[in-house]
């Protein structure tokens, strides 16, 4: 609430001093100029071109490391050169890759059933007949063969195995059958959990309860997953360290030092395979033993049981895991005034099959965005700062391409980068979801006011309606966030992992934004996520693809052309305070040693960890941020800006995000260095990761140490804002 007030008074100030165009970070003159540039930019992307590009990328399967995916890298390079991008290069990384060779699954007792492990063609969708479509496989599964009893373990999370134990069931040496769950938990976490439980293998299936007929009509009649669809995906333990497992923390450029795969913490040591419900049904139906609890039941129309040791399956998986090359395409539009300040944009190129939504909707939007940026530059409207654009590879395997690129250019990025804007799945429906570190949330809101949604309303109005609907629905679970916590800002400021922003936020310390339009989408990572699906359900008419190109490009242009970077640190401070309060609330019992209501005596009213100092430093950071918002707005309104002063202010503001990093990383996961943002093993967002995990473990020594680190980062950033404020004194 306080945030809004700050924004309002800044706006009011600008309003009263001038009736001309006003944009956060711009003087009145340059705002008027920027408005013209953006109008021109927004007029360029076309729905027909979006569709044409989308067809190029969805024509054939293109997994990481495949011939087709490498051809598409060359296609992007050639297009970008034609579009007018500069310094276009393809960068090669030699990484530990993963490919399927064969898979066999059969139930041998009490009945015989041989799993199909294929997705059958759908009427009307010719792409679904493509013989190049892979069978069932999960990236980074190990090879092996086992015949063992089968146990149903619900979502495959630790509490599920605890429940099995309470029923006297161990999964040691057995094969577990788990399902893709709602709320989402990353399948790699399920694999690690099964591995830790001593299971011989993990089968993971799509229950129609979550993404099939229980949700609505299935493909080809609707957007939900049909009988034979299965969800591929990697099980890499990239929540420990993302990227190539053999080069943790450094780039796998050709010839780089590599650790043995046996020593790589992110390489799984378990066999795993995904199943359609068609293949899972005979297995589940024939399981005996105790009946599973109500929340373990699904939509297959019979009671699910745990298994009794008499039901046996035979599983054989042959993988080809080993060194292979991934390719990142990089291009840029060099800035006219400040070429050494970079706005970085990226989308991954590799798909599990055709990648209709994931990622080709994003890739099509990227190609239209770069075409428009190139056209502006050709017409003399070059951005003031440099815009760097990347097509990542191997995102699906372990965020690999972006991680290696980020590690390779970490020093450059720490010196030059303003922000990273990620688009992964651009469009699976009409509902906008915008993520941002809180310092950029006001800018993103402002931008959406200047864009028109296909509904005829502004994107801002539509976004607000989405957020309000989510609020009403209570906890809505999206793929990468599961808490359903609502923000004071429209932008979702709780940023977990699961896409290419990770290296930039958590390793480099860059502010990040993530943009996407969402809708009912039950064919994720299956062969049915394709051109047909997009044209019938996701975005017929490609209007949201076009809007994404506009939004992505305008966001880049705002950051690239601003006189003073549009960061809002008062909003950031308020958001951090919310993180602390939520952490305390979520750990009431841990913090007090008993429920707070039970704490009676005055002496006992001492929490295990005193956060008063932190809350005070947040207050100081917020005051400095408010003061800076006001002085920046006042300075901009004068219209006169000394370039030396602008440089000092901009470089200072760029440094804020870097200062949140702790070079030691969070306890146990040194690669993840951000003190405010992290991710749980499930990929779910985890705020104040080092502090929160220590409090959850009731490790008070570590918690105190992590609180001190956070406090010092806050003090450092308050001091930096004070310096900037002093520089702005009249």
Nearest to 329 by CA among 613, 706, 76: 76
Show contacts with Zn ion in window 589-608 (CB under 5 A): none
Q: Residue 647 to residues 95, 310, 338, 565, 650: CA-CA distances in angstroms? A: 39, 72, 9, 10, 5
Query: Which of 424/453 has CB closer to Zn ion?
Result: 424
Alpha-carbon torsion, ordered 151, 153, 158, 164, to 10 deg: -60
Query: Which of 424/462 has CB closer to Zn ion?
Result: 424
Which residues sit opposite 343 in a β-bridge?
387, 419
Q: Would you count residue 358 as binding Zn ion (CB under 5 A)?
A: yes
Helices 441-449 + 569-586 axis angle, to 10: 120
Query: Which stretch in 179-187, 315-323, 416-424, 547-555 sits in contact with Zn ion by CB under 5 A?
Result: 416-424
Least distance in angstroms from the C-beta of 529 to Zn ion: 10
Least distance in angstroms from the C-beta of 351 to Zn ion: 8
Quote the CA–CA distance of 714 and 653 in Å, as a whole number.
14
Quote the CA–CA distance of 484 and 467 in Å, as a whole number.
11
Residue-wise over 409-446: b if at least 16 C-beta within 10 A, else e? bbeebbebbbbbbbbbbbbbbbbbbbbbbbbbbbbbbb
Quote the CA–CA distance of 234 and 566 in Å, as a whole number.
37
Query: Which of 207/424 has CB closer to Zn ion?
Result: 424
Query: Which of 330/358 has CB closer to Zn ion?
Result: 358
Query: Which of 211/358 has CB closer to Zn ion?
Result: 358
Least distance in angstroms from the C-beta of 714 to Zn ion: 34
Whether a cis peptide bond, with omega within 30° of 0, leads into 110 is yes
Least distance in angstroms from the C-beta of 400 to Zn ion: 12
Least distance in angstroms from the C-beta of 132 to Zn ion: 20
Least distance in angstroms from the C-beta of 356 to Zn ion: 11
Quote the CA–CA distance of 488 and 438 in Å, as a whole number.
10
Report phi then psi at 702, rounded to 5: -65, -40
Q: Would you count residue 393 as binding Zn ion (CB under 5 A)?
A: no
Query: Which of 347/587 has CB closer to Zn ion?
Result: 347
Least distance in angstroms from the C-beta of 706 to Zn ion: 32
Query: Which stretch in 84-92, 354-362, 587-595, 664-672 sits in contact with Zn ion by CB under 5 A?
Result: 354-362
Token duo for residue 650:
């901009």
Query: Which of 41/480 has CB closer to Zn ion?
Result: 480
Q: Would you count residue 424 as binding Zn ion (CB under 5 A)?
A: yes
Query: Which of 350/563 has CB closer to Zn ion?
Result: 350
Q: Would you count residue 500 as binding Zn ion (CB under 5 A)?
A: no
Query: Which stretch in 350-358, 385-393, 469-477, 713-721 sits in contact with Zn ion by CB under 5 A?
Result: 350-358
Query: Which stretch in 107-115, 246-254, 422-430, 463-471 sits in contact with Zn ion by CB under 5 A?
Result: 422-430
Token duo for residue 454:
């296909």
Show contacts with Zn ion in window 524-563 (CB under 5 A): none
Least distance in angstroms from the C-beta of 232 to Zn ion: 12
Least distance in angstroms from the C-beta of 11 to Zn ion: 36
- Of positions 188, 335, 359, 498, contacts Zn ion by CB under 5 A: 359
Helix (H) or strand (E) holding 616: helix 612-638
Query: Which of 357/714 has CB closer to Zn ion?
Result: 357
Report how far Cα 725 is from the mean position of its chain's Cα atoms: 34
Q: Would you count residue 28 as binding Zn ion (CB under 5 A)?
A: no
Q: Measured on CA atoms in the order 545, 550, 551, 552, is the torsion positive or negative?
A: positive
Query: Which of 64/133 has CB closer to Zn ion?
Result: 64
Q: Would you count residue 188 as binding Zn ion (CB under 5 A)?
A: no
Q: Measured on CA atoms in the order 255, 256, 257, 259, is the torsion positive or negative?
A: negative
Quote the CA–CA distance of 635 and 564 in Å, as a whole number.
10
Least distance in angstroms from the C-beta of 362 to Zn ion: 7
Residue-wise over 561-584: b if at least 16 C-beta within 10 A, else e? bbbbbbbbbbbbbbbbbbbbebbb
Q: Would you count residue 693 as binding Zn ion (CB under 5 A)?
A: no
Query: Which stretch in 68-76, 223-231, 418-426, 520-528 sits in contact with Zn ion by CB under 5 A?
Result: 418-426
Query: Which stretch in 101-109, 421-429, 558-566, 577-585 sits in contact with Zn ion by CB under 5 A?
Result: 421-429
Site string (611-650) toward Zn ion, x via CB under 5 A: ----------------------------------------
Quote the CA–CA distance of 724 and 573 in Å, as a whole number.
16
Least distance in angstroms from the C-beta of 118 to Zn ion: 23
Least distance in angstroms from the C-beta of 594 to Zn ion: 44
3-state secondary structure at position 26? coil
- Is 190 within 8 Å of 156 (Cβ atoms)? yes
Least distance in angstroms from the C-beta of 525 to Zn ion: 9
Token duo for residue 199:
């299971």
Residues 6+ apart with CB under 8 A from 19: none
Report phi then psi at 660, rounded to 5: -75, -15
Show contacts with Zn ion in window 252-311 (CB under 5 A): none
Token duo for residue 606:
């001492």
Query: Which of 529/568 has CB closer to Zn ion?
Result: 529
Number of helices and strands (H, E) in the chain? 23, 16
Query: Which stretch in 45-53, 197-205, 270-278, 351-359 sits in contact with Zn ion by CB under 5 A?
Result: 351-359
Least distance in angstroms from the C-beta of 60 to Zn ion: 17
Which residues sit opposite 301 in a β-bridge?
none
Q: Would you count residue 330 as binding Zn ion (CB under 5 A)?
A: no
Least distance in angstroms from the C-beta of 500 to Zn ion: 8
Query: Which stretch in 353-361, 372-380, 406-414, 501-509 sits in contact with Zn ion by CB under 5 A?
Result: 353-361
**What are the DSSP calls for 389-406, one per residue?**
EEEES-HHHHSHHHHHHH
Query: Which stretch in 352-360, 463-471, 472-480, 638-646 sits in contact with Zn ion by CB under 5 A?
Result: 352-360
Query: Which of 341/424 has CB closer to Zn ion?
Result: 424
- Is 527 within 8 Å of 232 (Cβ atoms)? no
Query: Which stretch in 44-52, 247-255, 423-431, 702-710 sits in contact with Zn ion by CB under 5 A?
Result: 423-431
- Is 421 within 8 Å of 512 (Cβ atoms)? yes
Query: Which stretch in 242-250, 355-363, 634-642, 695-703 sits in contact with Zn ion by CB under 5 A?
Result: 355-363
Taking CA 385 as the corner, what is the angle to CA 382 and CA 389, rounded to the nearest 5 degrees?
85
Query: Which of 176/527 has CB closer to Zn ion?
Result: 527
Least distance in angstroms from the C-beta of 393 to Zn ion: 12
Report phi then psi at 192, rounded to 5: -60, -40
Residues engaged in binding Zn ion (CB under 5 A): 358-359, 424
């Amino acid at each position: 609430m306080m945030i809004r007030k700050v924004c309002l008074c800044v706006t009011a100030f600008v309003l009263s001093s001038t009736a001309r165009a006003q944009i956060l970070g711009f003087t009145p003159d340059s705002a008027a100029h920027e408005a013209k540039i953006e109008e021109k930019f927004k007029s360029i992307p076309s729905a027909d071109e979006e569709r044409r590009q989308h067809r190029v990328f969805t024509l054939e399967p293109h997994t990481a490391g495949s011939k087709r995916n490498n051809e598409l890298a060359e296609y992007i390079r050639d297009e970008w050169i034609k579009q007018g991008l500069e310094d276009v290069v393809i960068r090669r990384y030699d990484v530990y890759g993963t490919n399927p060779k064969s898979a066999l699954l059969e139930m041998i007792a009490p009945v015989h059933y041989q799993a199909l492990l294929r997705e059958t063609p759908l009427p009307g969708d010719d792409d679904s007949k493509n013989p190049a479509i892979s069978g069932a496989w999960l990236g980074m599964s190990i090879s092996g063969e086992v015949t063992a009893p089968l146990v149903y373990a619900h979502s495959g999370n630790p509490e599920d195995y605890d429940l099995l134990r309470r029923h006297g069931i161990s999964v040691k040496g057995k094969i577990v059958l788990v399902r893709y769950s709602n709320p989402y938990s990353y399948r790699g976490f399920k694999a690690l959990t099964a591995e830790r439980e001593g299971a011989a293998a993990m089968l993971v299936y799509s229950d129609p309860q979550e993404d099939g007929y229980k949700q609505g009509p299935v493909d080809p009649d609707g957007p939900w997953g049909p009988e034979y669809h299965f969800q591929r995906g990697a099980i890499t333990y990239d929540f420990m360290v993302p990227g190539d497992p053999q080069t943790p923390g450094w780039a796998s450029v050709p010839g780089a030092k590599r650790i043995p795969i046996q020593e790589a913490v992110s390489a799984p040591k378990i066999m795993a395979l995904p199943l359609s419900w068609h293949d899972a049904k005979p297995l589940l139906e024939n399981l005996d033993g105790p009946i599973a609890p109500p929340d373990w039941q699904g939509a297959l129309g019979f009671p699910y049981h745990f298994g009794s040791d008499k039901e046996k399956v035979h599983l054989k998986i042959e993988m080809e895991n080993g060194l292979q090359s991934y390719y990142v395409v990089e291009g840029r539009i060099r800035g006219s005034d400040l070429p050494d300040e970079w706005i970085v944009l990226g989308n991954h190129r590799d798909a599990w099959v055709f990648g209709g939504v994931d990622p080709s909707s994003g890739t099509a939007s990227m190609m239209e965005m770069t075409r428009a940026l190139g056209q502006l530059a050709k017409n003399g409207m070059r951005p003031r700062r440099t815009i760097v654009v990347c097509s990542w590879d191997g995102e699906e395997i372990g965020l690999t391409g972006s991680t290696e690129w980020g590690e390779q250019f970490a020093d450059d990025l720490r010196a030059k980068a303003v922000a990273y804007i990620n688009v992964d799945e651009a469009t699976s429906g009409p509902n906008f979801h915008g993520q941002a570190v809180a310092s950029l949330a006001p800018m993103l809101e402002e931008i959406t006011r200047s864009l028109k949604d296909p509904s005829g309303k502004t994107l801002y109005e539509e976004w607000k309606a989405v957020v309000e609907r989510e609020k009403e629905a209570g906890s809505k679970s999206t793929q990468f966030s599961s808490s359903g916590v609502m923000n004071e800002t429209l932008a979702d400021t709780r940023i977990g992992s699961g896409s290419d922003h990770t290296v930039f936020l958590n390793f480099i310390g860059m502010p990040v934004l993530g943009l996407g339009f969402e809708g009912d989408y039950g064919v994720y990572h299956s062969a049915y996520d394709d051109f047909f699906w997009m044209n019938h359900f996701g975005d017929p008419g490609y209007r949201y693809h076009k809007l994404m190109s506009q939004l992505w490009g305008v966001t880049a242009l705002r950051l690239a052309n601003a006189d003073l970077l549009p960061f809002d640190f008062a909003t950031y401070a308020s958001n951090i305070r919310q993180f602390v309060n939520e952490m305390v609330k979520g750990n009431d019992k841990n913090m007090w040693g008993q429920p707070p209501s039970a704490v009676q005596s005055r002496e006992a009213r001492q929490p295990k960890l005193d956060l008063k100092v932190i809350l005070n430093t947040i207050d100081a950071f917020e005051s400095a941020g408010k003061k800076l918002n006001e002085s920046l707005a006042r300075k901009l309104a004068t219209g006169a800006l000394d370039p030396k002063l602008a440089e000092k202010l901009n470089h200072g503001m760029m440094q804020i995000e870097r200062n949140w990093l702790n070079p030691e990383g969070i306890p146990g996961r040194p690669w993840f260095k951000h003190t405010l943002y992290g991710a749980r093993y499930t990929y779910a967002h985890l705020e104040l990761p080092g502090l929160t995990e220590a409090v959850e473990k009731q490790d008070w020594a570590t918690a105190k140490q992590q609180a001190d680190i956070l406090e010092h980062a806050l003090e450092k950033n308050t001091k930096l804002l004070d310096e900037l404020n002093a520089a702005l004194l009249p």
